[in-house]
């Protein structure tokens, strides 16, 4: 079975891994943990150089996040193949293309509460996936008040920001 976990950030990544760890999968299941990063031209910045710097930082953060999530997922998934992949592109399109080409048997992604106005203006990756998925999918719902309950230790905050930890 090919299981695709589509991660948007650390909070959703933790929730998806928790869901996947507690679900019973076939012994030889293959897990791909992916994250889409927008191309440099769509990154914030006043100049192309600024956008390229933002892009490189996003790629590094995404790579580090996926490695951590794969390690967490692998704690009780012996015998399963688990690998990360950062993909450049729009999240909804990246997920559908990856699920089609791999091919995934199931997509697991997160969704948070949005007002009707937010859905209208911003769209919804989970809604797009639900309408275009080439396979089964599971949407792990997270309430906005839970999204605000993410806590990190000081060293985790520094690590997330890319600041080296001081040696003792």
Q: How far from chain centre, in Å, is Cα 166? A: 29
Instruction: Report the predicted TM-score, pTM, of the whole model to 2 decimal places.
Output: 0.81
Of 89, 112, 127, the one marking the end of a domain is 89
Domain that holds residue 82: 22-89
Segment 19-44 shows an average pLDDT of: 93
Do residues 165 and 135 lie in contact, with contact meaning Cβ atoms separated by under 8 Å? no
Asked whether residue 28 falls in the same domain as residue 84, the answer is yes
Residues 135, 160, single domain; the answer is yes
pLDDT value at position 68? 95
- Contact between 33 and 73 (Cβ < 8 Å): yes
Looking at the structure, do residues 100 and 166 belong to the same domain, yes or no?
yes
Question: Which of these three, 65, 89, 113, is where a domain ends?
Answer: 89
Alpha carbon distance 33, 10 (integer Å): 12
- More confident position, 156 or 34: 34
HSE-up (13 A, CA, CB side) for residue 76: 9
Give the mean model confidence (pLDDT) for residues 67-72: 95
Last residue of a domain, one of 62, 89, 116: 89
164 within domain boundaries: yes
């Amino acid at each position: 079975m090919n299981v695709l976990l589509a991660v948007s950030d650390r909070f959703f990544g933790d929730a998806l891994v928790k869901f996947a760890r507690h679900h019973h999968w076939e012994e030889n299941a293959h897990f791909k943990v992916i994250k889409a990063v927008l191309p440099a031209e769509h990154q914030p910045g006043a100049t192309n150089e600024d956008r390229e710097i933002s892009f490189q930082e996003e790629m590094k953060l995404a790579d580090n996040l996926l490695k951590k999530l794969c390690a967490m997922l692998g704690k009780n998934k012996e015998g399963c193949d688990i690998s990360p992949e950062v993909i450049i592109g729009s999240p909804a399109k990246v997920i559908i293309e990856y699920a089609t080409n791999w091919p995934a048997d199931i997509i697991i992604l997160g969704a948070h509460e949005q007002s009707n106005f937010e859905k209208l203006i911003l769209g919804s990756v989970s809604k797009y996936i639900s309408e275009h998925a080439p396979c089964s999918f599971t949407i792990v719902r997270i309430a906005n008040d839970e999204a605000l309950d993410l806590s990190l230790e000081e060293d985790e905050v520094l690590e997330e920001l890319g600041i080296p930890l001081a040696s003792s």
